[in-house]
Amino acid sequence: MGNSGSNSKWWERAQKVLPGGVNSPVRSFNSVPGNPVFFQSAKGSRFTDEEGKCYIDWCQSWGPMILGHADPEVQAAAMEAMEEGTSFGAPSRREVLLAEAFLNRMPHFEQVRFVSSGTEAVMSAIRLARGFTGRDLILKFTGCYHGHADHLLVDAGSGLATFGTPSSGGVPKGFTDSTAVLPLDDIEALEAFFTEHGNKLAALIIEPFPANAGLLIQRPEFLQKCRELTTKHGALLVFDEVITGFRVGPAGAAPLLGITPDLGTYGKIIGGGFPVGAYAATREIMGHISPLGAVYQAGTLSGNPVAMAAGLATLEKTGRPGFYEDLERKGAKLEAGLRAATADTGITADIARQGSLFWNVFQAEAPRSFEKVDGSRMKIYGRMHRDLIDRGVYLAPSGWEVGFVSAAHTDHDIEATVAAVAETFKSWSSDACQT
Burial class (CB within 10 angstroms; exposed 0-12, middle 13-18, buried 19+) of 223:
buried
> Within 249-278, which residues bind ligand KE4 (CB under 6 A)?
267, 277
Cα gap 27→290, rounded to integer Å: 35
Closest distance between ligand KE4 and the C-beta of residue 268, in Å?
7
- Our finding on whether 49 is near ligand KE4 (CB under 6 A) is no
Which listed range, 101-109, 126-134, 141-149, 224-232, lies at the site for ligand KE4 (CB under 6 A)?
A: 141-149
22 binds ligand KE4 (CB under 6 A): no
The footprint of ligand KE4 on residues 279-338 (CB under 6 A) is none
* Per-residue three-class SS string for 360-385: EECCCCCCCCHHHCCHHHHHHHHHHH
Decide if 326 is catalytic.
Answer: no
Q: CA neighbours within 13 Å on the CB side: how many for 15? A: 10
> What is the spatial distance between Cα 328 and Cα 37, in angstroms, rounded to a whole number?
29
Among 11, 29, 58, 62, binds ligand KE4 (CB under 6 A): 62
User: DSSP secondary structure string, 276-294?
Assistant: -EEEEE-HHHHTTBTTTSS
The answer to whether 118 contacts ligand KE4 (rule: CB under 6 A) is: yes
From candidates 181, 243, 388, 407, binder to ligand KE4 by CB under 6 A: 243
User: Around Cβ 287, how many Cβ atoms within 10 Å?
Assistant: 14
Minimum CB separation of residue 132 from ligand KE4 in Å reads: 20
By CB under 6 A, residue 57 contacts ligand KE4: no
- DSSP class of 105: H
Q: By CB under 6 A, which span of 39-47, 111-119, 249-257, 323-331 interacts with ligand KE4?
A: 111-119
**Is residue 240 annotated as a catalytic residue, yes or no?**
yes
Catalytically annotated residue among 49, 57, 186, 240: 240
Pick 44 or 208: Cβ nearer ligand KE4 = 208
- Which residue in the set 4, 8, 9, 26 belongs to the binding site for ligand KE4 (CB under 6 A)? 26
Using rule CB under 6 A, residue 212 touches ligand KE4: yes
**Distance of alpha carbon 159 from alpha carbon 155, whole angstroms:** 13
As a whole number of angstroms, the distance between CA 424 and CA 397 comes to 17
- Whole-number Cα distances in Å, 335 to 185, 298, 361, 400, 417: 24, 42, 12, 18, 11
Q: Which of 119, 318, 354, 424 binds ligand KE4 (CB under 6 A)?
A: 119
Q: Which stretch binds ligand KE4 (CB under 6 A): 72-80, 215-223, 235-243, 427-435?
A: 235-243
3 binds ligand KE4 (CB under 6 A): no
* Residue 394 known to be catalytic: no
- Exactly one of 132, 141, 145, 381 binds ligand KE4 (CB under 6 A); that residue is 145
Please report, as a single letter, which amino acid is at residue 381. Answer: Y
Residue 277 or 303: the one with the smaller Cβ distance to ligand KE4 is 277
Q: Enumerate the β-bridge partners of residue 140.
A: 181
Segment (H or E) for 263: strand 263-266
Phi, psi at residue 212, to the nearest 5°? Answer: -120, 10
Count CB neighbours of 215 within 10 A. 25
What 3-state DSSP class applies to 357?
strand
Piece in contact with ligand KE4 (CB under 6 A), picked from 8-16, 112-120, 134-142, 222-230:
112-120
Q: Which stretch binds ligand KE4 (CB under 6 A): 181-189, 239-247, 376-384, 417-425?
A: 239-247
Closest CA to 263 of 271, 276, 254: 254
User: Shortest Cβ contact with ligand KE4: which residue?
Assistant: 118
401 is an interface residue for ligand KE4 by CB under 6 A: yes
Q: Which residues are catalytic?
A: 145, 240, 268
Interface positions with ligand KE4 (CB under 6 A): 24, 26, 62, 117-119, 122, 145-147, 207, 212, 240, 242-243, 267, 277, 401
